[in-house]
């Protein structure tokens, strides 16, 4: 199915039958990506007395409970309610689901014991493009990102100045293959989160951050149509499934 997309007075065509899923699934006890010291996702049958909700155990249906943390288990999309005292739901704040996005690849630079994504790197990678969303693939990029335990590893993060640039560029949706845009241990500063959402200025209620995506190497840098899908939890974050479509 071919559809037309208009952005900045330009019309693009996309083949909606060729999705490029960049999410990491919540796959229960199998090796899976985790962060923030939370346990892996648990998917298990409901048990009541001598009844177990599993067809293999004799039930007529499979009837599972799922326990997870949206920030620490798999791909998730969050709104500014993640860092505000006032409750905000990503399900209420995100009301559009398709965006023109730019995929860029960046190797974070060494800064003391840290590896940091700098403003100059994002500025160079974006050039003159004016996307609604940015998808950052960090280098090196390999399949270990699908089952990495990021807890206590000091992963790379985005410098505050880079987050300010992304905001000032008018980008409302930031996607990255890391557990956070901020340093793992930063004494609660959350500089990149606050800068991106403009918490100390005019808070951007409709802007989102999606973390722990995985962009396969076969997906080239460049412009795409992005569809952000997520479960409609009334929460600051929800497990999500961002999908890219190549522009024709």
pLDDT tens sequence across 17-65: 999 999 999 886 668 899 999 999 999 999 999 999 999 999 999 999 9
Given the structure tokens 């100059």, which residue do they identify? Answer: 120
Between CA 27 and CA 20 the distance in angstroms is 19
Helices 160-168 and 119-126 meet at what angle, rounded to 10? 30
Q: Nearest 5°: phi and psi at 56? A: -70, -20
Between CA 215 and CA 166 the distance in angstroms is 20
Please calculate the CA angle 123-173-183 and round it to the nearest 5 degrees.
70
pTM given for the model:
0.95
- The pLDDT, as a whole number, for residue 5 is 76
CATH superfamily assigned to domain 2-25+70-246: Putative cyclase (3.50.30.50)
- The pLDDT, as a whole number, for residue 29 is 62
Write the CB contacts of 78 (distance below 8 Å, at least 6 apart in sequence): 70, 71, 90, 208, 209, 210, 211, 236, 237, 238
Determine contact, residues 197/83, Cβ cutoff 8 Å: yes
């Amino acid at each position: 199915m071919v559809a037309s997309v208009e952005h900045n007075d330009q019309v693009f065509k996309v083949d909606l039958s060729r999705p490029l899923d960049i999410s990491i699934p919540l796959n229960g006890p199998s090796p899976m990506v985790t962060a923030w010291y939370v346990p892996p996702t648990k998917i298990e049958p409901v048990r009541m007395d001598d009844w177990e909700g599993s067809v293999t155990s004799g039930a007529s249906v499979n009837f599972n409970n799922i326990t997870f943390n949206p920030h620490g288990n798999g791909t998730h999309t969050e709104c500014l309610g993640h860092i505000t005292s006032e409750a905000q739901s990503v399900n209420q704040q995100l009301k559009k689901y398709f965006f023109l996005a730019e995929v860029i690849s960046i190797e974070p630079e060494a800064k003391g014991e840290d590896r940091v994504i700098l403003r100059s790197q994002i500025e160079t990678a974006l050039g003159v493009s004016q996307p609604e969303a940015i998808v950052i693939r960090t280098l090196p990029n390999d399949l270990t990102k699908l089952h990495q335990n990021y807890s206590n590893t000091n992963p790379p993060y985005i410098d505050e100045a880079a987050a300010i640039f992304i905001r000032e560029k008018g980008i409302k949706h930031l996607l990255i293959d890391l557990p956070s845009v901020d340093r793992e241990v930063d004494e609660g500063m959350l500089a990149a989160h606050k800068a991106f959402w403009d918490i100390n200025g005019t808070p951007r209620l409709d802007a989102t951050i999606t973390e722990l995506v995985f962009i396969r190497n076969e997906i080239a840098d460049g412009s795409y149509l992005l569809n952000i899908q997520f479960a409609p939890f009334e929460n600051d974050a929800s497990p999500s499934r961002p999908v890219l479509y190549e522009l024709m």
